[in-house]
Amino acid sequence: MSSLFSIVTYYEAEDKQRGPLTFVDKLDAIAEHTPMIGSILTESIFFHEPSLQLKVVKRDPELPFSLHSHEFNELVLVTRGSGTHFSKNGEFLLGEGSIVFIPPGIQHGYKDVKDLALYNILIGKSMLAKNFLDLADFPGFNSLFKCGDTIPRLLLNPTQLSEVIPLLESMEQEVDDQSFGSGSKTLAYAYLLNLIILLSRIYDETPRGNNQMAHRLGEVMAFMEKNKDKSLTTKELTEIANMSASTLNRSFKLATGLSPIEYHLHKRIAHACSLIQKRGLSIAEVAEASGFTDANYFSRQFRKVMDTTPKEYQKIFTSRFS
């Protein structure tokens, strides 16, 4: 197999022998083989309907993906977990609410992924080349979707994220339907326009200084997400945020109501709760897996956050599902 097309053709042929593969299965195969076969993903591989070059792909989990480019536009929305997005111009951390727009021809990839889940919205070049009436005068639209050879970013807060995800789910349903005479293609395109306008308005309404601050805090939160199994120091966090300890503490409290160290403690305790729910681990093992070397200290911190001890939580959860 010497090309991406031959890899996809091979997996399509396998459909007949071992049952249909989903679109995501094939994308995983592409991710697995990309280092061996080159770096350009073409429109012909992903779009089979010339009048609607649009595809919504839910990646859960997202795999590490080497440097690649594509002939189409790609809009990425992270819904869970963390990872690093990298390109020839540098790299940045991804976390919940991260929005990234990659224009055609820009090489990029993912690495250091940890429970990373995201939506990929693949948009053909022709879809953004149409006459969008007054969108051409919309600064947010031009900054996000007409960005030349840069990779613009936006960070959504939980409320904005909850508004965007239903749009993507509805768009995905209509794109996958496309029954003749059902209006699904028109409705899918309408959802795309709705999404573009919503994100452009959010970008426009976010002061650049605040937007930059949000990105910095987002990178700190993504770093915390990747390090739920150990304690972090303020010094480590200030280096990630590239700001002073006082500025980081003030900005973090404004955004979350907690200091960075308190926020990370909550993340670690939430991680401990998920380990307890899986069962099979002792409280001492859960403590160690959450970065606590002292089981008694772990128990005190757990009670501080959860208002109960780890053992009591384990009993409640065990009795509920036994």
Tokens found for residue 112: 């250091």
Higher pLDDT: 82 or 320? It is 82
Return residue ranges of the chain for CATH 2.60.120.280: 39-210
Ramachandran class of 40: left when φ > 0, alpha when ψ lies in -120 to 50, beta otherwise: beta
| CATH entry, 227-321, from 1.10.1040.10, 2.60.40.420, 3.40.640.10, 1.10.10.60 | 1.10.10.60
What is 78-125 written as a DSSP string?
EEEEEEEEEETTEEEEE-TTEEEEE-TT--EEEEEEEEEEEEEEEE-G
Contact partners, residue 265, CB within 8 Å, separation at least 6: 301, 305
| Helix (H), strand (E) at residue 310 | helix 310-321
For 137, which DSSP code? G
Mean pLDDT estimate for the chain: 82
Give the tens place of pLDDT for each residue, 81-120.
999 999 887 888 899 899 999 998 889 999 999 999 999 9
With cut-offs at 50, 70 and 90, classify the pLDDT of residue 207.
low
pLDDT at residue 17, rounded to an integer: 44
Return residue ranges of the chain for CATH 1.10.10.60: 227-321
Percent of the chain exceeding pLDDT 70 equals: 82
Alpha helices in 122-257 (DSSP H): 139-145, 158-177, 184-205, 208-226, 234-241, 245-256
The answer to whether residues 15 and 51 touch, using CB atoms and an 8 Å cutoff, is: no
Give the tens place of pLDDT for each residue, 145-164.
887 778 888 888 878 888 99
Give the tens place of pLDDT for each residue, 222-262.
788 888 899 999 999 999 888 999 999 988 887 677 899 99
Tokens found for residue 106: 């820009």
Fold of 39-210: Jelly Rolls (2.60.120)
Least confident of 13-17, 288-292, 299-303: 13-17
